[in-house]
């Protein structure tokens, strides 16, 4: 290899795409051969190793990325171990002295990046941390006092005032390869897939990878964005984007979403861009408050009298609470790795406020079962419902699972799909089957307590109990 130009490393992390990949574009600009690299480093995930659903997605996404690289004359090198050790070894093997990567904002990943910068500088390796997972750098958005925002509306207003950069870095058509490739693991050797195939529902529901992300974005903009504002809360309709896992794994950048929405009038595009802004707010919040995944942002809630209810938690996880909208959401989650956002709020409210189960138990379950399990979104979302986080809904806002179902799934189509034992129940009773007269239940082949559970708790009682618990917290 003497005389050959040493390669530069493009370290793929949560940016598993070629289009609008700033780290990749910067590496291409050097004119050097490229060594695309993925490192399986458990230290990067810290206390939150990937859940089962996310591991399944990552396997598919890495395979898709590898195919796209091969089409451009390159390949994906896969290695396992501490990022420091892997990069130092590639320095010795290939002479690679420059590394380009996309920044992450999870606490463990940030700590690892800081240590890595020092370690690699000692080895004469230049690293460049690039933007790409957010629309704005966290240090860029501050309130008038120079501190991070804790209210979303003010945060987003500042973002829009600055303006979103929608100039995208194009995907390269060809990539220069090194003269000799280092050894690589097969993606299958990472053991990301489940040993027992429980992922068929996810396989039927998703197309992981950059091509799948582009198709999903194009479909949403073409078919649904115009009706998004009025239809986003309807789980019985397909009017949400389902882009969250693609954004989480970086198969799609938030700038690509913003660029795709340009030129679309009406409230739908602005309303959806606001949801992208909420994702941005979550990342900035986790960056500024790195304990967000473990401790309530509002200190008073450290005294909240949560209950240990293993039976109730298990019923909630299995979709056997006796409240059809909650059960439908939890079953959709188990089958597809995803749940409609309106139903997420109702299901979370039921766990926290009807059962008084600590929000961290809910966050852990979502982390393992969601294909879009994102530490920033998951932490902020659960704290929002619990009333203890940034821009949180007040704790006394307690969703009624019956009236929420009647309002947003009026005909019961969503419930019938995911709770098939209730499929023959008339819409009048679909969200409260215990109110149905005995002849109606018999005609629908429902025996409460046998083939569908009675409600595990009375909502009116639970609401009063939750408000009493809140009063204790304030006292």
Same domain, 267 and 344: no
Residue 294 domain flag:
no
Catalytic-role residue among 45, 63, 306, 434: 306
Residue 224 lies in a domain: yes
293 within a domain of the structure (yes/no): no
Q: How many structural domains comprise the chain?
A: 3
Q: Which one is catalytic: 63, 275, 364, 406? A: 275
By three-state DSSP, how is residue 217 classified? helix
Domain boundary among 114, 132, 150: 132
For helices 254-261 and 210-223, give the axis angle rounded to 10 degrees: 30
Whether 353 contacts 392, CB under 8 Å: no
> Quick one: CA dihedral 150, 156, 157, 161, positive or negative?
positive
> Active site residue: 48, 382, 384, 418, which one?
382
Candidates 11, 56, 57, 359; catalytic one = 359
Domain for residue 235, yes or no?
yes
pLDDT the model gives residue 1:
41
Q: Which of 254, 288, 322 finishes a domain? A: 288
- Catalytic, 278? Answer yes
Examine residue 120 and state whether it is found in any structural domain, yes or no: yes
Regarding whether 240 and 250 lie in a shared domain, the answer is yes
Range of the domain at 275: 134-168+208-288
Q: CB-hemisphere CA count at 13 Å for 378?
A: 27
Q: Are residues 226 and 360 in the same domain?
A: no
Active site residue 48: no
Given 45, 63, 341, 364, the catalytic residue:
341
Q: Are residues 148 and 163 in the same domain?
A: yes
Burial 312-324 (b: 16+ CB within 10 A, else e): bbebbbebbbbbb
In a domain, 409, yes or no: yes
Same domain, 69 and 150: no
Task: Give pLDDT tens digits for 320-345.
Answer: 999 999 999 999 999 999 999 999 99
Entry pTM: 0.96
Q: Does 445 lie in the same domain as 381?
A: yes
In-domain check, residue 268: yes
Q: Judge if 313 and 458 occupy the same domain.
A: yes
Using the Cα atoms of residue 376, residue 378, residue 381 and residue 384 in order, give the sign of their dihedral: negative
pLDDT of amino acid 3: 55
**Whether 418 is catalytic:** no
In this structure, the answer to whether residues 349 and 421 fall within a common structural domain is yes
Are 274 and 155 found together in one domain? yes
Spatial CA neighbour of 43 closest among 107, 101, 134? 107
- Residue 275 bears catalytic tag: yes
Could you say which of 278, 406, 421, 434 is catalytic? 278
Residues 58 and 68 placed together within one structural domain of the fold = yes
Assign residue 152 the CATH number of its domain.
1.25.40.80
Ranges under pLDDT 70 in the chain? 1-3, 475
Residues 376 and 267 in one domain: no
206 is an active site residue:
no
Rounded to an integer, what distance in angstroms lies between the CA atom of residue 59 and that of residue 372? 14
CA 227 centroid distance within chain? 23
Quote the strand ranges of 50-162, DSSP E.
77-80, 98-102, 126-130
382 is catalytic: yes
Same-domain pairing of 308 and 453: yes
| Domain CATH number, residue 417 | 1.10.579.10
Establish if 183 belongs to a structural domain: no
């Amino acid at each position: 290899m003497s005389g050959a130009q040493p390669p530069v490393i493009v370290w793929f992390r949560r940016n598993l795409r070629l289009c609008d990949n700033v780290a990749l574009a910067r590496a291409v600009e050097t004119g050097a051969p490229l060594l695309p690299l993925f490192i399986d480093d458990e230290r990067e995930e810290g206390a939150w190793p990937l859940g089962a659903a996310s591991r399944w997605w990552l396997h598919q996404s890495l395979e898709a990325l590898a195919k796209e690289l091969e089409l451009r004359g390159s390949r994906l090198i896969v290695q396992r171990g501490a990022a420091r050790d892997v990069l130092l070894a590639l320095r010795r093997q290939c002479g690679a002295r420059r590394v380009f990567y996309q920044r992450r904002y999870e606490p463990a990943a940030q700590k690892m990046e800081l240590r890595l910068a020092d370690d690699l500088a000692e080895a004469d390796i230049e690293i460049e941390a690039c933007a790409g997972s957010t629309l704005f750098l966290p240090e860029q958005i501050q309130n008038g006092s120079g501190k991070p925002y804790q209210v979303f509306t003010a945060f987003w207003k500042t973002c829009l005032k600055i303006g979103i950069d929608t100039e995208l870095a194009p995907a390269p058509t060809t990539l220069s390869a090194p003269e000799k490739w280092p050894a690589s693991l097969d993606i299958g050797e990472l053991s990301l897939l489940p040993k027992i195939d429980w992922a068929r529902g996810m396989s039927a529901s998703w197309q992981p990878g950059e091509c799948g992300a582009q198709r999903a974005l194009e479909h949403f903009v073409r078919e649904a964005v115009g009706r998004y504002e009025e239809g986003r809360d309807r789980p019985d309709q397909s009017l949400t984007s389902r882009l969250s896992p693609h954004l989480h794994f970086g198969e799609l950048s938030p700038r690509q979403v913003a660029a795709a929405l340009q030129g679309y009038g009406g409230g739908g595009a602005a309303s959806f861009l606001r949801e992208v802004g909420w994702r941005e707010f979550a990342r900035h919040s986790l960056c500024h408050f790195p304990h967000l995944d473990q401790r309530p942002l509002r200190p008073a809630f450290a005294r909240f009298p949560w209950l240990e209810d293993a039976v109730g938690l298990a019923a909630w996880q299995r979709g056997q609470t006796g409240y059809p909208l909650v059960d439908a959401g939890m079953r959709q989650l188990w089958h597809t790795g995803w749940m409609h956002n309106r139903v997420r709020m109702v299901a979370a409210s039921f766990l926290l406020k009807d059962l008084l189960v600590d929000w961290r138990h809910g966050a852990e379950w979502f982390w393992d079962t969601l294909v879009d399990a994102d530490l920033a979104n998951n932490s902020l979302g659960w704290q929002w419902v619990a009333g203890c986080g940034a821009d949180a809904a007040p704790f006394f806002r307690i969703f009624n699972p019956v009236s929420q179902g009647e309002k947003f799934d009026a005909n019961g189509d969503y419930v019938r799909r995911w709770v098939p034992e209730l499929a023959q129940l008339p819409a009048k009773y679909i969200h409260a089957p215990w109110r149905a007269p005995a002849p109606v239940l018999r005609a629908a082949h429902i025996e409460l307590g046998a083939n569908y559970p009675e409600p595990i708790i009375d909502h009116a009682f639970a609401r009063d109990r939750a408000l009493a618990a809140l009063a204790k917290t304030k006292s």
